[in-house]
Each structure stands twice: as C-alpha cells, then as structure tokens.
Amino acid sequence: MPLVAGVDSSTQSCKVVVRDAETGDLVRQGRAPHPDGTEVDPSAWWSALQTAIDAAGGLDDVAAVSVAGQQHGMVCLDAAGEVVRPALLWNDTRSAQAAADLVEEAGAGTAGRQFWADAVGSVPVASFTVTKLRWLARHEPANADRVAAVCLPHDWLTWRLSGSSDLAALRTDRSDASGTGYWSPATGEYRPDLLERALGRAVRVPTVLGAAEAAGALPDGALLGPGAGDNAAAGLGVGAGPGDVVVSIGTSGTVFSVADAPAADPTGIVAGFADATGRFLPLVCTLNAARVLDAAAGMLRVGLDELAELALAAPPGADGLVLVPYLEGERTPNRPLATGAVHGLTLRTSTPAHLARAAVEGMLCALADGLDALAAQGATVRRVILVGGGARSAAVRRIAAQVFGCPVVVPPPGEYVADGAARQAAWLALGGAEPPSWSPSGTEEYAAEPVPAIRERYAEARERHLDRPTTG
C-alpha cells in the first residue's frame, strides 16, 4: 500500500493530504495559514508548507508528492536563485494598466484581444503573470534588471522541495504554464517573444512537464510530481468528466470544465487553460467569492453558519435586495477598479436575513454569468460540482441550484485541490496511461426550481457599479 501526498498552496492557506495511492483512502492531513495580502514573500509559503507537512505526520513514508497552488503569482528569482521581491498574487490588480497596454499594443480594439486569444488561449487581465512582468519593468526597473528566472508559486515550492538551487532545474506543468500569458495550450510551446515584450528581455522559465512526468525527487528519494494550478488539480480531485462543470468557491470563484480542445475566447471572459491530464480547462474566474461571505458575516457580526441560517430565512431574491460583490474590484467582468454595492434597500429589506441572502445570491450570480460564458464556448452543463471553502455553507449549497438552474452536486467537505495533487502523485508512483480511479463517495445532490428573477435583478444592478476613487 504505497502512500502519496498532495499539497494545495492556496491563497489563504497550505493544505497537505496523505492518501493510499491505490484506493485513495485518506490516511492523514495537515494545514497552516498563509499571510493576508496580495503581495507575499514566498518564504511564508515555504514555512506554511513545512508546518502543514509536520501536521500531516511528515513525508518520510510517501512514494511521491505533488504540489498544486494558486495560479499566476509572479515569483522572480535572481541568478543565485534568491527571490527578487515578494510575489505579486493572482488577485493583485496593480498590473491592470499593464494588461490593457499589452492588449492595446497587440492591435487596436478587438484585434488586440484576438491576437492574445490566438497566441496563448487567453486575453490577459491583471491576474496573468505576463502583466505583472510588464508592471515590474515599468515600476521597479532595478528589480526587473535582477530577474534571471520567473516561475509560479507551485513551481517554486516543487523546486525548493527538490533541494536544488539551480535555475535549470525549475519545472512546471501545462495547467499552470497556461496561466502565465506566455505559454500556448494549443501548441504546447512557450512564447518567449511575449515574455520579452512584457519584461523587455528574455529570462529563464521552467521546463513544462507532461501530466505524469517526474519533476525530480525529494532528497530522501520520494518522487516529485509536476504539480498543477489549483483549479486543474481540483478537476482531477473530483474526477470531473464530460458534462460536469466544476464551481470552486475559494478566495477566487472559478467555473470550469474539462475539454478535449483548447479554448480561445477573444472577449477574454473564458480563459483557455490546459488541465492536469493532457486535456484543456476552459475557465472563468472571479475575484470575489468566499470572502464575500466573510465580509457579510463581518458586517452582520455573525459566524458563517449563522450567516447561512439568516440567508435561508429570507425569500429567494431577498425581496429585491441585490448585493454586487465587487469588493476587491473584479476580474470577470474586467473591472479592476470597481467597488461592491447594495441595491434595493427598503424598510422591508433592511434586515440581516435579507443582507445575508443578497450576499450569497450576488456571489452566485457572478458565477452563474461564468456558467453562461462557458456554455457559450461550447461546454455542456449537465450538473455543477461545487467545491472550495464556500461550499461548506448550507445556504450556498441550497441557493446555488436556484441560481444556476441545474442540479448541484456537492462532494463531502474536503480538500479537493490537495486530493488532485495526491492523485497525480499516485499516477506517477503507480504508472499507467490514466490516473488511478479514485472517486469521492457520499456526494449530496441539490435540485431546485430555478428562480430567474434573481439573476434578472442582479444583471440590472451589476451595470450600476461604482469605480474605486483613484486618489485620497
């Protein structure tokens, strides 16, 4: 019974699971928090990983380990392998202008967007690594000059676990490479010209590995998997198949499916990522998901369970109260300077229950827009598989079916990103053409009559968002 480990180095925390490679049974697990903020020193991820590994009983007895992580974060290394500056995370919007510039430089109007969609499958917004490199070149030229290599959070952790300090030993996988903006899922090749266009010169990038190719080994011999972006790992963790759309409610809200052909959406709404099995992962990502619930609970001075009870106590549509959840600006739609808003306040709707319901519905409506965009790109939506920390909310689980208008399947609470990484590690340890078939048992299914008025009213409110003041 070989054991394998999977890591999820996500925005808010690091999670480690140790599972039986053949059956997928959970043997032990651990976690540790990450610091807050959209700019983080990678050494904090390394410390959290060590703490989480210790809490999971160590890795001495595992045959293989894979690291999945938050996508897009810019980790710049100098020639000695030292981190040049704190990493800019996927939810850091300071590179919004750089993103607009890169698109504009590629062609006026739709031509620029079409260029990027054709070149790398996605139109870059502030989240993408390529825009952060442009920001660095323009705003911190001395730091930009020191950069010898650029990689992503999961690449850096895998490299650290290997014990190497040689930049030539950096490895990544297709799924995370596809979120950089300088690697094409359609061709499987880097676009060094686009990286150079952003940073002003060429730097080293990690070698892109196949789905079950070793990235090296831990010093004590356990194999290191290629790892994955967290969404691709979640797809592997829940075993998403044809007709499944996964909705993940973490810091980000994501809506994605596994596809046989690459996507290239010139509107920029759907990102044409690669998955962790050799296929593709069209994906829509919002900046505001579980933290909308945290914020609503904070405003109401209740815990998350009480927030769910309150939300379920108000009627569908919250009697017309709508919360537009752009609390951190927004990525989809691309409104980095937007703020959130509450519309429809009356004496009747000025209750904690109405506000709680509006928060849950607003967050889910933004994701339902993503579901529509994915369907417009050809995805079949037979059911939604709901994962991420926000899926622990009873209100989210119940209201999702009303908002999405399709059955919602919720696997038992778990760490599906770390599980996907563990499944990849098992694939590496056991070999074979496909990953071992683990499937979560005990899923719950939620079905409900759709309530179209919720989305209609949300769509009206969404258009009336305000931008953040740029001074003061």
Ligand X SMILES: Nc1ncnc2c1ncn2[C@@H]1O[C@H](COP(=O)(O)OP(=O)(O)O)[C@@H](O)[C@H]1O
Ligand Y SMILES: O=C(CO)[C@@H](O)[C@H](O)COP(=O)(O)O
**Minimum distance between the CB of residue 230 and ligand X, rounded to whole angstroms?**
6
Cβ-Cβ contacts under 8 Å for 164 (sequence gap 6 or more): 216
Nearby residues of 21 by Cβ (< 8 Å), 6 or more positions away = 1, 2, 3, 4, 63, 64, 425, 426, 429, 430, 436
Residue 294 in the binding site for ligand X (CB under 6 A): yes
Q: Which residues from 51-70 bind ligand Y, rule CB under 6 A?
A: 70
**How far apart (Å, rounded) are the C-alpha atoms in residues 128 and 99?**
8
Q: Does 250 bind ligand Y (CB under 6 A)?
A: yes
Q: Binder to ligand X among 2, 13, 44, 407 (CB under 6 A)?
A: 13
The nearer residue to ligand X, 179 or 344, going by C-beta atoms, is 179
Task: CB nearer to ligand Y: give 73 or 317.
Answer: 73
For 26, the 3-state DSSP assignment is strand
204 binds ligand X (CB under 6 A): no
Q: How far is the CB of 331 from ligand Y (least distance, A)?
A: 8
Smallest distance from ligand Y to CB 135, Å: 16
- Token readout for 10 is 């996500």
Residue 286 found at the interface with ligand Y (CB under 6 A): no
Residue 70 or 172 with smaller CB distance to ligand Y: 70
Contacts for 423 with CB less than 8 Å, ≥ 6 apart: 6, 19, 24, 236, 237, 435, 436, 438
230 binds ligand Y (CB under 6 A): yes
The least CB distance from residue 112 to ligand Y, in Å, is 20
Tell me: is residue 139 an annotated ligand-binding position: no
Count residues near ligand Y (CB under 6 A): 16
Q: Are 248 and 257 in contact (CB under 8 A)?
A: no
Distance CA 130, CA 115 (A): 15
Q: Are strands 280-286 and 271-274 parallel, antiparallel or unpaired?
A: antiparallel
Question: Does residue number 72 form part of the binding site for ligand Y (CB under 6 A)?
Answer: yes
Output phi, psi for 367, to 5 deg. -75, -35
> Dihedrals φ, ψ of 236, to 5°?
-70, -35
The reply to whether 12 sits near ligand X by the rule CB under 6 A is yes
Is residue 414 within the footprint of ligand X (CB under 6 A)? no
CA 284 to chain centroid, in Å, comes to 9
What distance in Å separates the CA atoms of residue 397 and residue 155, rounded to the nearest whole number? 33
Binding test (CB under 6 A) with ligand X, winner from 251, 286, 334, 402:
251
Q: Distances from the Cα of 162 to the Cαs of 93, 159, 170, 215, 227, in angstroms?
A: 32, 5, 10, 8, 13
Q: Is 231 in the site for ligand Y (CB under 6 A)?
A: yes
Which residues have CB under 8 Å from 139's CB, separation 6+? Answer: none
Q: Judged by CB under 6 A, does residue 291 bind ligand X?
A: yes
Q: Which of 229, 281, 267 is nearest to 250 (CA)?
A: 229
- State the burial class of residue 141 (Cβ atoms within 10 Å of its Cβ: 0-12, 13-18, 19+): exposed
Binding mask 296-335 for ligand X (x = CB under 6 A): --------x-------------------------------
Task: Work out whether 250 is an interface residue with ligand X (CB under 6 A).
Answer: yes
In this structure, what are the phi and psi dihedrals at residue 217, rounded to the nearest 5 degrees?
-150, 155
- Give min distance, CB of 294 to ligand X, in A: 5
Can you tell me the distance from the alpha carbon of 305 to that of 297, in angstroms, rounded to the nearest whole number? 9
Among the listed ranges 159-167, 176-184, 317-325, 390-398, the one in contact with ligand X (CB under 6 A) is 390-398
Q: Tell me: is residue 97 an annotated ligand-binding position.
A: no
- The yes or no reply on residue 9 touching ligand Y (CB under 6 A) is no
Q: Please pick, among 155, 230, 275, 369, the residue that the annotation labels catalytic.
A: 230
- Provide, rounded to whole angstroms, the least separation between the CB of residue 432 and ligand Y: 28
Q: Of 3, 4, 7, 11, which one interacts with ligand Y (CB under 6 A)?
A: 11
- Determine the interface stretch with ligand Y among 129-137, 164-172, 228-236, 300-308 (rule: CB under 6 A): 228-236
Let me know if 467 is a catalytic residue: no
Pick what 127 binds: ligand Y, ligand X, none; C-beta below 5 to 8 Å, kind-dependent.
ligand Y
Considering the complex, what minimum distance in angstroms separates the CB of residue 280 from ligand Y?
14
CA 113 to chain centre: 22
Instruction: Tell me: cis bond preceding 440? Omega within 30 of 0 counts.
Output: no
* Binding region for substrate: 71-72
Q: Which residues are catalytic?
A: 230
Binding site for ligand X (CB under 6 A): 10-13, 250-251, 290-291, 293-294, 304, 388-390, 392-393
Binding site for ligand Y (CB under 6 A): 10-11, 70-72, 90, 127, 179, 229-231, 250-252, 254, 285
